[in-house]
Chain A
Amino acid sequence: MTVVLNQSFTGISIGAVLLLIALGLTLTFGQMGVINMAHGEFIMAGAYTTYVLQKSISSAGVSLLVALPLAFLVAGAMGALLEWLLIRRLYTRPLDTLLVTWGVSLMLQQLARDVFGAPNVQTAAPDLLTGNISAGSVTFANNRLFILGLALLCVLGLTLVLRFTPLGRRIRAVVQNRDLAEVSGIATGQVDRITFFIGSGLAGVAGVALTLVGPIGPTMGTNYIVDAFLVVVVGGIGQLKGAVITAFALGVLQSVLEYSTTVSVAKVVVLVAIVAFLQWRPQGLYTLRTRSLA
C-alpha cells in the first residue's frame, strides 16, 4: 500500500513537471500551430535566470521567488522576439517553422555554452524545499509538492486569462478563425506576439522549477521537448484540459511501468501506448471546434 501511494505521488509529480513544460507549448503549438523547437531553450533560459539570480542574491529562497516572474519575462521576451523576427513570416508554412526554430534552438544552445560554459551548473534549493513531509509511511518531497503547486497555479492562471479577459477572448477568436478575427478589427499580429510571449514565458517558469530537480545545462531543454510535444498531441491540439489530463496520465503510467520494469522498458511501452492511442484517436483526447474552413 505504501508503495502504491508513494508511486502514485511520484507519478503525479512527474506529471506536474510534464504539465509545466507542456503548458506553454499548448499555446504556441496547440493554439497557433507553430512547431517551436526552441521551446526547450526557453526552458533553459528560465533555468539560467535562476542561476544568475542566485549568484547575486545569496538567499536561495528569495532568488527562487524573484526568478519565477523574471524567468517568465526573460523567456517571454525571447519568444516574442523570435515571433517578431522569424515566425510571423512563416504562419502559412508550419513545417518551415520546425526547421527555422530548430536552427534557433541550436544557436541558443551554443550561446548558452559561450556565456555560461559547457559544463552544467547547479543551483542550491532553499532549505525548505530539500526536505519532505511524511504522512504515515508515505513521503512527499517538498520540491515535488512545490512543482505540483506551481503547475496547478499556472494552469489556473492561464485558464482565467483565456476565459475571462479581453485578451483571452481575442486569442481564442484568432485561433478559431484568423481571417474573421482580422476583419472584426482584432490586431491579429499583436495577439500572436502576446500569445507567444505567454507561451514562452511559461517555458521559463518550467525552467525555474527544473532547477529544483536536476542540473542546468545548454542542452537541458532537449531532454524535455519530445515529452512536451507528446503531451500536447495526445491531449488534443490546443486543449488545456487535454494537456492536464494527459500529463498526469503519462506521469502515472511512466512511474508505474518504471517501478515494475526498468526505465528503458517503461519509455518504450509509453511510446507504444501513445502511438496506439493516436491510431485510435488521431485528433487526440479533445478536439478544438473551430470556425476556420481548413
Chain B
Amino acid sequence: MSGLSISRRGLLAGISAAGASAALSACGAKTGTESTSGSAATADTSGSTVKVGLLNSLSGTMAISEVTVHNSLLLAIKEINASGGVLGKKLKPISQDGASDWPTFAEKAEALITDDKVAATFGCWTSASRKAVKPVFERYKSLLFYPVQYEGLEQSPYIFYIGATTNQQIVPALDYLKKQGLTKLYLVGSDYVFPRTANKIIKAYAKAKGLTVVGEDYAPLGSTEFSTIVNKVKGSGADAVFNTLNGDSNVAFFKEYKSAGLTAKSLPVLSVSIAEEEVKSIGTQYLEGQLTAWNYYETTPGAANKKFVAAYQAAYGKDKPTSDPMEAAYISVYLWKAMVEKAGSFDVAKVKAASDGIVLDAPEGKVTVDGATQHVYKTARIGKVGSDGLIEEVWNSGKPIKPDPYLKGYSWASGLS
C-alpha cells in the first residue's frame, strides 16, 4: 500500500507544479479571456490545427470495451476533418492510454491539458476513472465529454455527460418490467459503485411503485463463481432479474444461468451493461431472448444510424458491431463541434454557455443538450437479444427524456444522494 501513497503524493506534487507552470506560461497565443483565475489551462488554438484529447483504456481489463469507444472517436474526428474541421481548423487527436487504472487516468488527463493544451477531452468509461479525472478537469477548467451510461447523482461543470443518466435507462427499464407484469425482481450486480447506487434507486422505485425486490446479491468484480447466486435466484420466486454485473462476470453468470435450466422465457434477465460487443464475447447462445436497456442499438432505424454503422464497419471491419457507448462517443465530438461553432470560439466558458439547446440528428435519434445539467435528452430503448447477436428494440420511450441526474422530478427518489 505504501507504493500507492507515494504515487499519490507524486501526483499531487505534479499537479501543483504543472498548475504553476501553466500560470507562468499564460502569455502564449490563446483564446481564453475567461481564464484569468491563474490555474486554468488554456487550449493552444494559434495554428491551423487544434488538439483534442482522447482518454481511453487501450490496455488492461477495460480495453475490450474502451478500444471500441476510441475507434468511434477517431472516426468522428476523421469525418469532421474531411468536411473542413471546426472553425476552419483541423482536429488533431492526441490519444492517451488510461490503462484501466484510475490514477493513470488522472495523470494522463493532466498531461493532455497542460502539455498538449487540448481544447477538449473525450473518454473514460468506468465511474472510478471518471471520479478520478473530475478534479483534474475542474482544477484546470477544461472540458471532458463522457460517453457511458452511469449511476447519476453527479454533476460537474466541466463534464458533459453524453451517456444516459439513471432516469433515461434504469427508470424506464423498471417501468417496462412493471408494464409486463414482472413485479418481483432479483437484483444481481458487481460489488462496486455503479450497481450499488443503481440498486439503491431500484429499491426506492420498488417501494413507491409496488414492485417487490425478492433478493439482492453482489459478486466481486471479476468473480466467476455464480452457482449459489443462480440457485438463490431460482428459489426466490422472482419474475425477472435486474442485472448490473459488469465485464467478464457476465460470462460465468449466463453460463451458470443456462446450466441451471433458466431461460429468457422462464425468468428473463434485464441487463444494463451488456451491449452488442459484449453479446458477441459472452456468446449469443447464452443471451438469446434476454433483455437490455440502452438508448441506442446497431439496429436502431434511421438514416443517421445507417450512415454511422456503414462508416464504422468500413473503417474497422464488416463484422464489428456498434454499441451505445460507441455511438455516444461518436456524437460527443459532433456535439462539441456544434457548441464551438455556436460560440464562435474554443474558449471553455463560451463553449459551455453556448451548449444549451444544441440539437443533433444522431444515430440514436434526436438529441438535445441540456445546458443546466450538461447532460443530453435521450430516448430510452428496451431491446431483446436476437439469434444473430444483434439487439432488436421491443419498446422505446417515444420521445427523448429530459436528463435528471439527481432524480429531482421523481417524488419516490427524495432522500437518495
The answer to whether residues A259 and B228 also contact, given A6-B235, A134-B261 and a CB cut-off of 8 A, is yes
B345 contacts the other chain (Cβ, under 8 Å)?
Answer: no
Task: Show 10 A/B contacts (Cβ-Cβ < 8 Å), sorted by A.
Answer: A7-B228, A13-B227, A14-B225, A120-B248, A124-B283, A132-B260, A141-B227, A215-B251, A258-B228, A258-B229
Nearest chain-A residue to B280 (Cβ)?
A: A122
The answer to whether residues A120 and B64 also contact, given A6-B231, A259-B232 and a CB cut-off of 8 A, is yes
Tell me if B63 and A139 are in contact (CB < 8 A). no
Contact among A132, A210, A217, A264 for B259, CB-based, below 8 A: A132
B35 contacts the other chain (Cβ, under 8 Å)?
Answer: no
B338 contacts the other chain (Cβ, under 8 Å)?
Answer: no
The answer to whether residues A10 and B259 also contact, given A118-B63, A122-B251, A263-B219 and a CB cut-off of 8 A, is no
B220 to chain A, nearest CB (A): 7
| Distance, CA A262 to CA B222, complexed state (A) | 16
A85 contacts the other chain (Cβ, under 8 Å)?
Answer: no
The answer to whether residues A139 and B261 also contact, given A122-B251, A214-B251 and a CB cut-off of 8 A, is yes
Tell me if B219 and A132 are in contact (CB < 8 A). no
| Distance, CA A6 to CA B252, complexed state (A) | 18
Contacts of B61 in A (CB 8 A): 118
A225 to chain B, nearest CB (A): 14
Given contacts A2-B235, A214-B248, A254-B228, 13 further A-B contacts (CB under 8 A): A6-B231, A122-B282, A122-B283, A141-B256, A141-B259, A143-B259, A144-B227, A214-B251, A223-B224, A255-B227, A259-B231, A263-B217, A263-B220
A103 contacts the other chain (Cβ, under 8 Å)?
Answer: no
Please give me the 8 A-B residue pairs with the lowest Cβ-Cβ distance, nearest first: A214-B224, A141-B259, A119-B64, A214-B252, A258-B228, A215-B251, A215-B248, A10-B227
Contacts of B234 in A (CB 8 A): 6, 139
Tell me if A262 and B224 are in contact (CB < 8 A). no
A131 contacts the other chain (Cβ, under 8 Å)?
Answer: yes
| Distance, CA A259 to CA B59, complexed state (A) | 36
A190 contacts the other chain (Cβ, under 8 Å)?
Answer: no
A294 contacts the other chain (Cβ, under 8 Å)?
Answer: no
B31 contacts the other chain (Cβ, under 8 Å)?
Answer: no
A97 to chain B, nearest CB (A): 24
Contacts of A131 in B (CB 8 A): 259, 261
Q: How many residues of A contact B (CB 8 A)?
A: 39
Contacts of A259 in B (CB 8 A): 228, 231-232
| Distance, CA A118 to CA B248, complexed state (A) | 12
Nearest chain-B residue to A217 (Cβ)?
A: B248
| Distance, CA A13 to CA B255, complexed state (A) | 15
B281 contacts the other chain (Cβ, under 8 Å)?
Answer: yes
Most buried by B among A122, A142, A210, A259: A122
Nearest chain-A residue to B63 (Cβ)?
A: A118
Tell me if A213 and B228 are in contact (CB < 8 A). no
| Distance, CA A119 to CA B283, complexed state (A) | 15
Contacts of B252 in A (CB 8 A): 213-215
Contact among A14, A121, A141 for B260, CB-based, below 8 A: A141
Which of B276-328 touch A at CB < 8 Å?
A: 281-283, 285
Nearest chain-A residue to B283 (Cβ)?
A: A122
Tell me if A10 and B281 are in contact (CB < 8 A). no
B-to-A contact residues, CB < 8 Å: 59-61, 63-64, 191, 217-220, 222-225, 227-229, 231-232, 234-235, 248, 251-252, 255-256, 258-261, 281-283, 285
| Distance, CA A215 to CA B251, complexed state (A) | 6
User: A59-102 toward B: CB 8 Å interface, digit per residue (1/0)?
Assistant: 00000000000000000000000000000000000000000000
B260 to chain A, nearest CB (A): 6
Nearest chain-B residue to A113 (Cβ)?
A: B59
A125 contacts the other chain (Cβ, under 8 Å)?
Answer: yes
B223 to chain A, nearest CB (A): 7
B78 to chain A, nearest CB (A): 24
Which of A247-266 touch B at CB < 8 Å?
A: 254-255, 258-259, 262-264
The answer to whether residues A130 and B218 also contact, given A124-B283, A215-B252 and a CB cut-off of 8 A, is no
| Distance, CA A143 to CA B282, complexed state (A) | 17
A258 to chain B, nearest CB (A): 4
| Distance, CA A1 to CA B251, complexed state (A) | 29
A3 contacts the other chain (Cβ, under 8 Å)?
Answer: yes
| Distance, CA A49 to CA B229, complexed state (A) | 29
Contacts of B191 in A (CB 8 A): 263-264
User: A126-146 toward B: CB 8 Å interface, digit per residue (1/0)?
Assistant: 000011101000010111100
User: A8-42 toward B: CB 8 Å interface, digit per residue (1/0)?
Assistant: 00100110010000000000000000000000000
A64 to chain B, nearest CB (A): 14
Contact among B228, B256, B258, B281 for A122, CB-based, below 8 A: B281
| Distance, CA A263 to CA B60, complexed state (A) | 25
The answer to whether residues A118 and B60 also contact, given A13-B227, A14-B227, A264-B191 and a CB cut-off of 8 A, is yes
Tell me if B63 and A119 are in contact (CB < 8 A). yes
Nearest chain-A residue to B219 (Cβ)?
A: A263
Contacts of A215 in B (CB 8 A): 224, 248, 251-252
| Distance, CA A141 to CA B232, complexed state (A) | 15
The answer to whether residues A118 and B227 also contact, given A139-B261, A214-B251, A217-B248 and a CB cut-off of 8 A, is no
Tell me if B228 and A214 are in contact (CB < 8 A). no
| Distance, CA A104 to CA B13, complexed state (A) | 35
User: A238-282 toward B: CB 8 Å interface, digit per residue (1/0)?
Assistant: 000000000000000011001100111000000000000000000
Tell me if B218 and A264 are in contact (CB < 8 A). yes
| Distance, CA A130 to CA B231, complexed state (A) | 16
Contacts of A213 in B (CB 8 A): 224-225, 252, 255-256
Nearest chain-B residue to A259 (Cβ)?
A: B228
Contacts of A17 in B (CB 8 A): 225
| Distance, CA A127 to CA B398, complexed state (A) | 40
